[in-house]
Chains A and B, each alone.
Chain A
């Protein structure tokens, strides 16, 4: 299960894992804003960011190749937009779009691979993100896992009968998608009932609270300073 792999990464122990989620979110935001504002032709800036993220992955003891591959999930979408941009005549922007998308995805991968989802959500709440949004995120995350599990089960069922969901015809694919939705909906409902049965009243309890320390402030400040420096120099 792919989600289990990322969950496992996030449950590791390293100086980055131990930092407050809010500090890591602030650091990630600083990097994302800086990447978005880099001038055209700022190749050094992009290289510096990739190096920084690889260094973070190394310190966090993440498998670097798998991490780079996980970030590549954004490429099909980025390439689509890049193709349209290139066809419109702006090749340089198209290339920049792909690079920026990839580095942004890599930033997100490092963030979620070093922060368990409940802490990430607690970090967002610490940063005063509206509770409603964090609840939606929590459920979205849980139900995406449901969707992936159901899709995996259907794929295995198709494979066991010598079929493959990705090679079947459009009509069958549409039918499979509707079944997947119905199955996922039923499971999501079962999960919600299980939540209600244990006293859930709309608010997820936070099991561990973490203090925002000087080291956390240091991480966020360092990331911000790095972003400013790269933005200025590149």
Chain B
């Protein structure tokens, strides 16, 4: 099976001198799913921000056969959908429909087509009835689903979810797990919630000091690192 993500020897240091990534090697097959576990500050979020070129470090990052370079950024961002930890940072348009349509329009789709894609994505996540609402009137779970709809509307091949269960109550977590397990795209879950990760994938990688120090089954990783 071909790789959707292929990262080799990725290094990244923030401007303040913090070395966040120290030689990350990682790969993921099309349609696969993996949970990234590890302590706060271990480099998980920094790593996923490299997957669609928000951060650019030294090393090789290839998405679906395309190297993450300036020239390929537009195509890369169509293929990699990033759902941020705090949905309030992601939702900024006046209505849910316009927000979900933002991605396709930013990537060049005409407004009517973007609106159709946004409606289809909202229908997929069960939020079509809220299309005309302002994003800040949604519950935390609904905001997360609206954020996911935003990247589904872009036809992303890889969904990257950064702490998707933050602010969610148990029913909203279950609902999100059901939604995600029904999506065919490859998934990377950055999470502290190993139980949630275990519902979506059996594959996990453990980050420590800017490196992946272990990769294996979620249960094995949990046992090995007492997570």
A binding-site residues for B, Cβ under 8 Å = 1, 4, 7-8, 11, 116-118, 142, 149, 187, 190-191, 193-201, 205-209
| Residue of B78, B103, B106 contacting most chain A CB atoms (<10 Å) | B106
Bound complex: CA A121 to CA B98 (Å): 15
Quick check: is B92 within 8 A (CB to CB) of the other chain? yes
Closest 7 CB pairs of A and B: A205-B105, A199-B106, A198-B103, A197-B82, A199-B107, A190-B89, A194-B90
Give chain A residues whose Cβ lies under 8 Å from the Cβ of B102.
198, 205
Contact of A207 (CB < 8 Å), options: B78, B86, B92, B111: B111
Chain B 65-81 against A: per-residue CB contact (8 Å), 1 yes, 0 no? 00000000010011011
Within 8 A of A (CB), among B35-81: 49, 52-54, 74, 77-78, 80-81
Instruction: Verify B89–A198 contact, CB threshold 8 A.
Output: no
Give chain B residues whose Cβ lies under 8 Å from the Cβ of A142.
92
Question: Is chain B's binding surface mostly helix, strand, loop or mixed?
Answer: helix
Bound complex: CA A142 to CA B94 (Å): 11
Give chain A residues whose Cβ lies under 8 Å from the Cβ of B78.
199
Bound complex: CA A75 to CA B89 (Å): 33
Bound complex: CA A191 to CA B54 (Å): 12
When C-beta atoms are compared, the residue in chain A nearest to B101 turns out to be A207
Give chain B residues whose Cβ lies under 8 Å from the Cβ of A195.
92
Contact of A193 (CB < 8 Å), options: B54, B98, B114: B54
Within 8 A of A (CB), among B192-210: none
Quick check: is B19 within 8 A (CB to CB) of the other chain? no
CB distance from A167 to the nearest CB of B (A): 29
Bound complex: CA A7 to CA B94 (Å): 8
Quick check: is B136 within 8 A (CB to CB) of the other chain? yes
When C-beta atoms are compared, the residue in chain A nearest to B151 turns out to be A198
Contact of A199 (CB < 8 Å), options: B74, B89, B94: B74
When C-beta atoms are compared, the residue in chain B nearest to A117 turns out to be B94
Contact of A1 (CB < 8 Å), options: B82, B92, B136: B136
A-B contact pairs, 24 of them (CB 8 A): A7-B94, A8-B134, A118-B93, A142-B92, A149-B88, A187-B89, A190-B84, A190-B86, A190-B89, A191-B89, A193-B49, A194-B82, A194-B84, A194-B92, A197-B54, A198-B77, A198-B103, A198-B106, A198-B154, A199-B103, A205-B102, A205-B105, A207-B93, A207-B111
